[in-house]
Every structure is written in C-alpha cells, then in structure tokens.
Amino acid sequence: MTRSQLFARIQSKKSYLCVGLDTDPRRIPTFLRSEKDPVFAFNQRIIDATSAHAVAYKPNLAFYEAQGARGWESLQKTLEYIPTDCFTIADAKRGDIGNTSGLYARAFFDKTAAGLDFDAVTVAPYMGRDSVTPFLDFPGKWVILLALTSNPGSEDLQQLRITNYELRITDDETQVRRSQLRIEQPLFERVIQTAQTWATSDQLMFVVGATQAESLTRIRELAPDNFLLVPGVGAQGGSLEEVSKYGMNAQCGLLVNASRSILYASTDAHFAEAAGAEAHRMQQEMTRYLDAYLPV
C-alpha cells in the first residue's frame, strides 16, 4: 500500500486508528477457550467489530511467539482475515546484520516463505543501516523504525545527547577562519535524520510514543512527510488530541495504535461489541481532529 493509498483510506474512513492485536490467551473470554484456535477466534471477532473504524492492524509478534508454532499459525490466519483495505503491521522490532535482516524481511513480507504478507514491519535501529535496508528491497513494503518509544526505558538510550561537530568557515575582508561548531542533539533525533538517508517517506515511518507528545513538534521539523506510528494512547496514558494537534501533516501522517483499551474493553460475552464501541469512540474523536488539524 502506497502513502497516498493509505491517506485515501484515512480520508474515506475518517480514521487513523490502528488496532493492536496483542492477544493474550490468558485474557480471552472463557467461552472462546474451547475453540480450536482461541487466539484466532478472538481476533476474528475483534476484527469484525472494529474494521469499519480502523485503517490498520498491528499484531505484536511476542504474543504469538509465546505460543510457539501454534501462535505462528494463529498469526497467519489472523493476517489473512484482516480486510484487504487495511494496512497491516508486524510489530516485531527486528534488526540483525544484513543477510539476516534479509531473512526477517522474507519472513514478514514474502508469502511464499513463512505464509505472511504484511505491509510493514517495525525495526530496531541499534545495528544501523545494513540491518534496516534489506527490508526496503521489497517494493511497496514499509519499515517502521523505532525512534522515540512510549516506555520508561526510552530515556536510557533514546534521550542521550549525541555530540556533532560541524565545520564552519567564515570569511571576512582579511582572512578565512575555520572553526568547529559543537552541536548536541538527542539520539532519537539523530536516528530520524540518519534513517532518511536510507529510505524516502514512501517506505519509512517512525515509531513515536504518544507519551512523548511534547517532542512531536520537533519530530515534525525533522520528518515532515513521514508517517508516524504512535502507540501509548489508552492504557499507557498518552493524549490522542495532543498527538493529533502536534503530529498531523498534510497527509495525516499518523497511525495511532490502541491495543488493550480495545481488546479488553469488556471481558464478558459482549467483548466484541465493547471493542467495536471503543474503536468507534476513538474513530469519532479522530474525525474531529482531522477536521480541526489537517492542514488544508
């Protein structure tokens, strides 16, 4: 799915909601646990109830891997069940040396390899360019690079201050002077800048946690065109309005994820209706923000 196709879906659904399919078998309602594949049975009902209000779905791989081979099968069935007009994200946070990242790319993008055909995968930047670029070899597929995450540990590395030296040449009447200008910036800003030398905004998004809304103005200066995947609204406490106000660009440029607040809106037999109602509530809020903040 291209960037303009994604924006067209956002406009037609008046929503930039991504539903995080972080399905914990221990939190599936009791009456579904006798199903052959309870995780898939749960996901089916969640997708049915929310797909009118969401433009994207994002299964987090940890929840499936914790079930081993069975989990991988639930994931595959779930991905096939997601309506084709929705953008699909493997939230895998992978990253390895070049040839190995190439295999992860095949795992998530090449249906003939592992039976999966996601539109996008989340990638961790610590290993640098050759850990990221193999994912870009798949035309039409996306890398969503971790930049500034929503968790407490984001301050341990992402907020560290990097030192840059820029050469300055000044020239007055009598002589040319060379000097070094020392610039400090947080690591996540450097990640956002450097990654844009690897891919255009047609294949590269960034993860920016909703709990980091105060950084969005600066991030939009550095990455005006890239879509941002924003987790942390809902259970983690980020503000949807602030994210929308400071993060929206002319093509919306936002996919705001909610997982637990939708999946576990209710734990009884009506969990799917409750999930649908919560997704609808968020979609309606998003419709207001699209009217208010989308640049015309």
Give yes or no for a contact between 186 and 160, defined as CB atoms under 8 angstroms apart.
yes
The residue from 15, 43, 50, 60 that contacts a second copy (CB under 8 A) is: 60
Residue corresponding to tokens 């997601």: 82
- Our CB check for a second copy shows the closer of 37 and 273 to be 37
Catalytic residues: 93
Q: Is 4 in the site for a second copy (CB under 8 A)?
A: no
The residue from 156, 172, 214, 291 that contacts a second copy (CB under 8 A) is: 156
Give yes or no for a contact between 242 and 209, defined as CB atoms under 8 angstroms apart.
no
The contact mask relative to a second copy for 230-269 (x = CB under 8 A, - = no) is ----------------------------------------
Q: Is 196 in the site for a second copy (CB under 8 A)?
A: no
- Stretch near a second copy under the rule CB under 8 A, chosen from 6-14, 143-151, 246-254, 278-286: 143-151
The contact mask relative to a second copy for 19-48 (x = CB under 8 A, - = no) is ---x-x------------------------
* CA dist., res. 129 & res. 107, Å (int): 19
Q: Is 67 in the site for a second copy (CB under 8 A)?
A: yes
Closest CA to 88 of 118, 54, 113, 129: 118
Q: Is 8 in the site for a second copy (CB under 8 A)?
A: no
The least CB distance from residue 28 to a second copy, in Å, is: 15
Give yes or no for a contact between 94 and 124, defined as CB atoms under 8 angstroms apart.
yes
Residues 71-100 that bind a second copy (CB under 8 A): 71-73, 76, 93-98, 100
| Euclidean distance between the first and the last CA atom of the chain, given in angstroms as a whole number | 24
The residue from 40, 42, 87, 104 that contacts a second copy (CB under 8 A) is: 104
- Stretch near a second copy under the rule CB under 8 A, chosen from 31-39, 113-121, 250-258, 266-274: 113-121
- Our CB check for a second copy shows the closer of 53 and 190 to be 190
Q: Is 225 in the site for a second copy (CB under 8 A)?
A: no
The residue from 10, 89, 107, 229 that contacts a second copy (CB under 8 A) is: 107
Q: Is 217 in the site for a second copy (CB under 8 A)?
A: no
The least CB distance from residue 257 to a second copy, in Å, is: 12
Backbone angles phi, psi at 193, to 5 degrees: -70, -50
The residue from 36, 68, 179, 295 that contacts a second copy (CB under 8 A) is: 68
Give me the residues that bind a second copy (CB under 8 A), please. 22, 24, 60, 62-63, 65-73, 76, 93-98, 100-101, 103-104, 106-107, 113-116, 124-132, 146, 149-158, 160-163, 184, 187, 190-191, 194
